[in-house]
Amino acid sequence: MAETTTNAAQAKLTVIIIGCGRVAEKHLKAISKLDNLELKAVVDVNPESAKRLLGSVKGFANTKVYSDYKAAIDEVKPSIVSVTVPSGLHFQIAKYAMEHGSNLLLEKPMTMSVSEAREIFELSQKTGLKIAMGHIYRYLPIVGLVREDIAEGKYGKVTHGTIYVRWGHNEAYYNSAAWRGTWKSDGGALMNQTIHAIDLLVWLMGSEPEMAEAMIARRIRNIEAEDLGMAVLRLENGALAQIEGTTATIPSKHMAEFSVFCENGQLSMGLDSGKPHLNIFTIRPDGKIKKLNGYYIRKQFKTGGLFSYKCALNPHLGIYKDLSEAIIENKAPIADAYAGFSSVDTLLGIYKSAKEGHPVALPLKDDFTTLDMTGFFD
Ligand SMILES: NC(=O)c1ccc[n+]([C@@H]2O[C@H](COP(=O)([O-])OP(=O)(O)OC[C@H]3O[C@@H](n4cnc5c(N)ncnc54)[C@H](O)[C@@H]3O)[C@@H](O)[C@H]2O)c1
């Protein structure tokens, strides 16, 4: 069973981080700010990476370092295993951790194949262990409030939604680790950079994808997978979603936005070179258009206080808090195991459609993996 240590004041949930690269620093910063979490160890096959990570946030210099994740899980028996290794390794580590009684903070994408994602989802159902996915956009301020209102029908019927993720990455980024941009361990701009935006859009629109049609291209980056992808989804409620995801844009000018359009309103949120923007409008019964930005900002402050705005700077803070509450109160995290499975299924449906040149029905009936895309651009 997973270990929970106690100090004088409260029970703490023990955590280990497996994989000490770029994203692990966001995890460590989040853990350092939450009193009910206790980091017991970090794991990396490269001890220098572990050292660098522990030196990046004050107070962790003496944390135990392992190079073998199985030894760390077996000895520490942590309540939470944070999986921050290259995506192609998520499945084996997530499975081992759950089979040994740990809850997961699992980075996106959950796995690289539909069958593996289903297995991890079913394991969480069977064991009752919680999985919070690294789907950071669900944890941004205001998003949850807007979703509740859409779900309650305050904006009427959802017609369609759009996202663009123009998250430029240059060759230096792709060369920084051998797994980046490969079909086996990463996928391209859609699977890596766009998956959490797709997850968010579908979640906001309140229905599951039933059809995907897509094209992908490799325009300028020297990688195996796509640096540009465009797709259309049809959801079970009949609404359409349009997706653009790319890393073939200027790295210092990151842009991302999602919009949802409804019978009685529309909303857009996004980032442009680090600057956030928000536009939420509704049509009142008298036909007048009302901007609701102020309403949501005040409501967020009342319900989530400053903490929710801190999550805008590091959404992993929100994920860890949510996961802790989910474990203690035995409830589902906001970005749960189903979200992990469903987004992988949608992404692989998009790849399958691009490969086969026709729309594909979702959820996929047969297994499909990113490896099935090998040689696509040759
Ligand atoms: N949610 C987000 O916002 C977000 C952001 C970036 C990355 N990610 C995801 O996080 C994961 C890691 O991405 P990154 O950019 O931090 O990668 P990275 O290459 O910077 O770091 C990965 C680390 O894992 C280590 N590693 C490799 N194999 C290992 C093993 N068997 N055991 C232990 N450690 C091992 C590597 O040595 C490296 O230090 C990916 O799945 C990526 O998609 C999520």
Ligand 1 mean position, distance from CA 142 (Å): 28
Ligand 1 pocket test, pick from 23, 83, 131, 167 with the greatest ligand atom count within 8 Å of Cβ, gives 23
Per-residue pLDDT at 240 exceeds 70? yes
Ligand 1 mean position, distance from CA 90 (Å): 9
| 69 in contact with ligand 1, CB cutoff 6 A | yes
Per residue in 243-279, pLDDT (tens digit) is 999 999 999 999 999 999 999 999 999 999 989 999 9
Per residue in 14-71, pLDDT (tens digit) is 999 999 999 999 999 999 999 999 999 999 999 999 999 999 999 999 999 999 999 9
Short-list 78, 114, 112, CA closest to 96: 78
Do 174 and 80 have their domain in common? no
| 53 in contact with ligand 1, CB cutoff 6 A | no
**Average pLDDT of 77-84?**
98
Ligand 1 pocket test, pick from 51, 67, 81, 84 with the greatest ligand atom count within 8 Å of Cβ, gives 84
**Number of domains, the chain:** 2
Per residue in 170-214, pLDDT (tens digit) is 999 999 999 999 999 999 999 999 999 999 999 999 999 999 999
| 45 in contact with ligand 1, CB cutoff 6 A | yes
Residue 320 covered by a domain: no
| 38 in contact with ligand 1, CB cutoff 6 A | no
The tokens for 320 are 């860890």
Q: Between the CA of residue 87 and those of 112, 134, 377, what are the distances in Å?
A: 7, 12, 21
Short-list 188, 180, 197, 171, CA closest to 354: 188
Ligand 1 mean position, distance from CA 184 (Å): 14
Per residue in 175-185, pLDDT (tens digit) is 999 999 999 99
Kindly report the protein residue whose alpha carbon is nearest to atom 2 of ligand 1: 134
Do 122 and 157 have their domain in common? no
The tokens for 322 are 């949510």
Contact 201, 240 (CB under 8 A): no
How does DSSP classify residue 247? S
Q: Cα separation of 178 and 261, whole Å? A: 40
Per-residue pLDDT at 102 exceeds 50? yes
Residue 327 covered by a domain: no
Residue 322 covered by a domain: no
Relative to the CA of 179, which ligand 1 atom is closest? Answer: 19
Q: What's the pTM?
A: 0.96
Residues contacting 353, CB < 8 A, separation 6+ = 212, 213, 214, 231, 359, 360
Can you give the pLDDT at residue 3? 52
Do 221 and 343 have their domain in common? yes
Do 177 and 56 have their domain in common? no
Q: Assign 11 a pLDDT band (cuts: 50, 70, 90).
A: confident
Residue 217 covered by a domain: yes
Per-residue pLDDT at 10 exceeds 90? no
Percent of the chain clearing pLDDT 70 (strictly above): 97
Ligand 1 mean position, distance from CA 83 (Å): 8
Return the biggest CA–CA distance within the chain. Answer: 65
Q: Cα separation of 40 and 13, whole Å? A: 10
Q: Which residue has the tokens 């997706």?
A: 243
Residue 378 covered by a domain: no
Can you give the pLDDT at residue 183? 98
| 134 in contact with ligand 1, CB cutoff 6 A | yes
Which position has the higher pLDDT, 349 or 309? 349
- Domain of 116 in residue numbering reads as 2-136
Q: Assign 8 a pLDDT band (cuts: 50, 70, 90).
A: very low
Q: Cα separation of 33 and 12, whole Å? A: 13
Per residue in 105-143, pLDDT (tens digit) is 999 999 999 999 999 999 999 999 999 999 999 999 999
Residue 165 covered by a domain: yes
Per-residue pLDDT at 339 exceeds 70? yes
Q: Assign 4 a pLDDT band (cuts: 50, 70, 90).
A: low
3-state percent helix, strand, coil for the chain, nearest multiple of 5: 40, 25, 35
DSSP letters along 124-192, please?
HHHH---EEE--GGGGSTTHHHHHHHHHTTTT-SEEEEEEEEE----HHHHHTSTTTT-TTTT--TIII
| 49 in contact with ligand 1, CB cutoff 6 A | yes
**Average pLDDT of 282-297?**
96
Do 75 and 90 have their domain in common? yes
Q: Assign 221 a pLDDT band (cuts: 50, 70, 90).
A: very high
Ligand 1 mean position, distance from CA 23 (Å): 6
Per-residue pLDDT at 5 exceeds 80? no
**Average pLDDT of 315-321?**
97
Can you give the pLDDT at residue 253? 97
Ligand 1 pocket test, pick from 51, 107, 110 with the greatest ligand atom count within 8 Å of Cβ, gives 107
How many Å separate Cα 256 from the centre of its chain? 15
Do 143 and 125 have their domain in common? no
Do 63 and 182 have their domain in common? no
CATH number, position 66: 3.40.50.720
Q: Cα separation of 262 and 116, whole Å? A: 35
| 108 in contact with ligand 1, CB cutoff 6 A | yes
CATH number, position 342: 3.30.360.10
